[in-house]
Each structure stands twice: as C-alpha cells, then as structure tokens.
C-alpha cells in the first residue's frame, strides 16, 4: 500500500483522478504547467473499470495533458 492511499481506492477512475490531482499539486509547487486538460489524455477510465478513448483530433500536444 502506498503512503498516499491511492492504491486502496475503489476503482481505476478514482485512482487515475487521485494520481492526476497529486501530480497537479507537485507541478504547481515546482512552477511547471499545472492546468490539467483531461480531453488531452489518450484514454480515461470509467467507474466500471473500462477505458474510454478520447478523440485527440489534431494529434499530440506538447506537454499534454498539462497547459
């Protein structure tokens, strides 16, 4: 078990959201891009533990999913 408790969350969506929130906090503290744009992720988890593909029209964006 991780000290931050992320690994004990109920489903993959909650774990993904918690990891992104932790990354946002760490990025803000270091002065890097810290605005999260979920639509720039290639896939996101649903509460039923299935993946949803994002369209990502326009291709890869530098620094995604952070702006």
Q: What is the pLDDT of residue 35?
A: 95
Q: Write the pLDDT tens digit of every residue in 11-36.
A: 999 999 999 999 999 999 999 999 99
Q: How many CB atoms lie within 10 A of CB 25?
A: 11
| 3 DSSP 8-state letter | T
pLDDT category of residue 58 using cuts at 50, 70 and 90:
confident
Q: Write the pLDDT tens digit of every residue in 38-50.
A: 989 989 999 999 9
pLDDT category of residue 59 using cuts at 50, 70 and 90:
confident
| 13 DSSP 8-state letter | H
Alpha carbon of 51 to those of 3, 6, 23, 28, 45: distances in Å? 26, 19, 21, 28, 5
- pTM of the predicted model as reported, rounded to 2 decimal places: 0.86
């Amino acid at each position: 078990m991780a000290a931050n408790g992320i690994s004990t969350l109920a489903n993959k969506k909650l774990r993904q959201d918690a990891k992104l929130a932790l990354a946002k906090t760490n990025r803000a503290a270091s002065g890097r891009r810290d605005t999260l744009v979920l639509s720039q992720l290639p896939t996101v988890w649903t509460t039923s533990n299935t993946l949803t593909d994002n369209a990502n029209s326009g291709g890869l964006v530098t620094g995604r999913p952070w702006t």
